[in-house]
Amino acid sequence: MEQPASNPPGTLRRLDPRRDLDAVANLVEVAFGLRGDPDGQFVLNQMRENAARQRQEPFLSNLALPSADGYVWEDGGKIVGNISLIPFQAGLRPICLVANVAVAEEYRNHGIATALTRHALRIARQRQGMAVWLQVRHENQVAIGVYESLGFRHFGSVSQYRRAGETPRGTSPLAGYPSLVEVGERQRSEWPAQKAALRATYPPETRWYLNVDFNAFGPRAWYNPLNWINLPRLKHLSFRSGSRWQGTLTWQGTDTRADNLWLAMAKDAVQEEHVSRLLKVFMERIWNGRPLNLEYPMGRYTEGILSAGFELARNLDWMHYLPPQKWPLGVLRKTGTAR
Ligand SMILES: CC(C)(COP(=O)(O)OP(=O)(O)OC[C@H]1O[C@@H](n2cnc3c(N)ncnc32)[C@H](O)[C@@H]1OP(=O)(O)O)[C@@H](O)C(=O)NCCC(=O)NCCS
């Protein structure tokens, strides 16, 4: 198996979910500092539950998770490094998402992450045309350096905001709100503009793994029985200036820890203050008090989102490694801020 340049103790081997998942969850929790992070804890709990299932019913669990793959770095029976490979299909293009790259602190700077990532690239290259994607914290220069040295390139940045759960305050009139600016139910006629804004803000390349189908946001979605389960968990609130559509906020109820918000704004510069009002009206009229997640291209409407009571959880860079000769395709060119 692979040995990095400076030859740290240990070897790279394939993850064995039955015996490794708990150790990997512990490593990821410490390496990413996830102790006080509710989203992180949610994912770790899933990992630990999966580990327990794998031990109890290894055959059934393997059937349920046929394609996820992973590699660990082991030294003296202790797992000190990890990389996870999650395959996706974006349209016709096979994509491998690299995640949970973590090395125990005392083993860092010996080339373990480089060796694990290089190995992941080798595995991905065995499949014709497979691109490799990853998300990394915007400020994580060490990890970004490792990925760039292996040929990954930055192609967009997003901010993830969250709002903790609380008892909603209930309906209240919008005192002092300028009369020309109106917030109300989304109109049918606004859907084409909302759809175009959603597609530009959340390109398919970056949301294929999120459980959302923007077609279900349209006013005709009721005609498709496949949408009937999810439609009651979607609500749209539009914001207009005069009679002109300025943007729509969609609430998507989920079964996970937090519900999602999707923000589709008109191309013309909408004032931060109005984005803030749109979110506040949502909180007053629609919010059920569950925690909320909102992702938006980094550097856009930050002030408006924060002043509506959201906190910035993290800024993330998307990076990708495309098969030779096939890039750049210009994905995400309209979103995010180039570093
Ligand atoms: C990021 C991480 C995985 C790197 O693991 P690692 O095994 O130490 O990485 P490597 O030894 O392969 O490479 C580290 C590189 O960063 C360089 N480096 C170290 N400290 C640095 C710093 N402060 N600034 C810039 N580069 C730095 C090293 O010199 C080395 O580069 P080189 O190979 O050209 O000498 C590890 O620090 C970690 O687990 N961090 C916490 C979790 C995390 O952030 N994961 C990434 C998620 S996308």
Q: Assess whether the C-beta atom of 79 lies below 6 angstroms from ligand 1.
A: no
Q: Taking Cα atoms as reference points, which of 89, 281, 75 lies closest to residue 168?
A: 281
Same fold? 11-129, 161-313: yes
User: From ligand 1's centre to the CA of 143, what distance in Å?
Assistant: 5
If pLDDT is split at 50, 70 and 90, which confidence band does 335 have? very low
Which has more pLDDT, 259 or 59? 259
Residue ID of nearest Cα to ligand 1 atom 4? 113
DSSP one-letter string for 36-83 = T-HHHHHHHHHHHHHHHHHHH-HHHHHHHSSS-EEEEEEETTEEEEEE
Q: What is residue 127's predicted lDDT score, i.e. its pLDDT?
A: 82
The pick from 24, 97, 109 for probing ligand 1's pocket by mutation, whose C-beta has the most ligand atoms within 8 angstroms, reads 109
pTM of the model: 0.84
User: From ligand 1's centre to the CA of 46, what distance in Å?
Assistant: 27
User: From ligand 1's centre to the CA of 40, what distance in Å?
Assistant: 21
Question: Token match 């980094």: residue?
Answer: 298
Rounded to an integer, what distance in angstroms lies between the CA atom of residue 188 and that of residue 267? 19
| Ligand 1 nearest atom to the CA of residue 149, by list position | 34
Neighbours of 62 (CB within 10 A): 12
In CATH, what number does 11-129 get? Answer: 3.40.630.30
Q: What is residue 175's predicted lDDT score, i.e. its pLDDT?
A: 46
What CATH superfamily classification does 161-313 receive? Gcn5-related N-acetyltransferase (GNAT) (3.40.630.30)
Q: Assess whether the C-beta atom of 314 lies below 6 angstroms from ligand 1.
A: no
DSSP one-letter string for 271-303 = PHHHHHHHHHHHHHHT--S--EEEEEETTSSHH
If pLDDT is split at 50, 70 and 90, which confidence band does 338 have? very low
Neighbours of 285 (CB within 10 A): 17
Residue ID of nearest Cα to ligand 1 atom 21? 142
| Ligand 1 nearest atom to the CA of residue 103, by list position | 39
Residue ID of nearest Cα to ligand 1 atom 30? 109
Q: SS in 3 state form for 92-137?
A: CEEEEEEEEEEECHHHCCCCHHHHHHHHHHHHHHCCCCCEEEEEEE
Total residues belonging to the chain: 339
Q: Is the dihedral of CA 240, 241, 245, 246 positive or negative?
A: negative
**How do residues 252-310 score in pLDDT, each as one tens digit?**
999 888 999 999 999 877 788 889 999 999 999 999 999 999 999 999 999 999 999 99
- Domain residue ranges in the chain: 11-129, 161-313
Neighbours of 184 (CB within 10 A): 11
Question: Token match 């993290």: residue?
Answer: 314
Rounded to an integer, what distance in angstroms lies between the CA atom of residue 202 and that of residue 296? 8
